[in-house]
Structure 1
Amino acid sequence: MSTFVQFDVNAAQAASDHAPLAPAGDGGAA
């Protein structure tokens, strides 16, 4: 489970870098 959470955080960070318009909160909620 921890691995999944870590991956989600990494994905959110990458998405934020790719699309700064999208808030990081969206990734965290996912």
Structure 2
Amino acid sequence: MGFRELFIRVIVTGGCGFIGNNLVERLIREA
């Protein structure tokens, strides 16, 4: 629910959040 929203949010925050980077990796692996 809100896959694109989450991805956009990660891009907006940029690589400034360690958790965000981990989330991106998890999303890519699940995708």
Please give the TM-score of this superposition, normalised by the length of structure 2. 0.47
More helix by share: 2
Higher relative contact order (CA 8 A, sep 6+): 1
